[in-house]
Amino acid sequence: MQLKPISEQVVAIIGASSGIGRETALQFAQQGAKVVVAARNELGLNSLVTEVQASGGEAKSIRGDVADFEHVKAIADYTVEQYGRLDTWVHCAATGILAPFSEITPEEFKRVIDVTLMGQVYGAMVALPYLKQSGQGAMIHISSMEGRRALPLQSPYSTAKHGLEGFLESLRVELQYENVPISVTSIKPAVINTPFYNHVLTKLGVKPTGLPPYYSPKLVAEAILYTAEHPTRDFIVGDVGRILDLCQRLSPELVDTLLSAIGFSGQRTSEPKSADGPNNLFTPMEGYTQVEGDFNSLTIPSISDWLVKNFHLK
């Protein structure tokens, strides 16, 4: 399976107003791709397009909520209307809740599934026909290490990411059976320093945090660009993610015990935040149009990512 060089690609990036999606759009544009960015946050999209154009890149934006199929279809249609084709579809959009399962309402749980799982399903539904028309291409779905190993206090998000992994496995085999040359990639980041923990709804009484260490969003964007040129089934981002994956394969019970010891206190900061505090579960938040979150001091490099990209390891 051959994929085009990035400089020749038309790329749609969903969930691009901040974090991983924003950094990914900037990197694609810097390497000469034509980029369409989408999110709910119109201010974030506008500032991103301005930033891309200021650096000499090409980008257009369209606002949409991935929980609505018609919005997602409009993103794909708009991309092809503007540039004549679609080469790579990158789906980053997600939301979450940090709370004990007993405190999550049915509406809240469903909303996380609608955005974080069904949004990705809708993305594949609308992107595939255009990719098939092009005769080749890549669908790159941002999953999580929570698609391999669920965490306490994040039952809706972990459910969505586990569902995404099952969906992509089924879809990948169907495309292989049909001999369709479209690469389907699951990117599985470890804990990434994005504004995600500012965005999520929390019922912990404090601002939540991931279990450190953190990795830079740039690492995830680099993995996305790598898989846009090199067909890849799964790409784990972060040394700790690969260690967790190995531990989960060897002994899920051991990981249960470890997470019981550190998974509750380790996901809380000391900064107060109520369940009524600003969050993006049902509506976009003002601000937070940046790439990085609040945990730069906990961010470390990843040696294994460098090895995978430079030696084309699987």
Active site residues: 157
Q: Could you tell me the CA-to-CA distances from 281 to 85, 138, 146 in Å, in that order?
A: 32, 28, 19
**Residue 215 DSSP symbol:** B
Q: Which two tokens stand for residue 12?
A: 């749609």
> How many CA atoms are closer than 13 Å to the CA of 63, on its beta-carbon side?
10
First CA to last CA distance, the chain:
16
Helical packing angle, 69-83 and 119-134, nearest 10° = 30
Segments in 202-299 forming alpha helices (H):
217-229, 239-250, 252-262
- Look up residue 37 and give its amino acid: V
Distances (CA, A) of 131 to 29, 142, 286, 311: 20, 18, 34, 28
How far apart (Å, rounded) are the C-alpha atoms in residues 263 and 175? Answer: 38
Distance of alpha carbon 221 from alpha carbon 185, whole angstroms: 13
- Which tokens in the block code for residue 22? 């924003």
Q: Is 194 left (phi over 0), alpha (psi -120 to 50) or beta?
A: beta
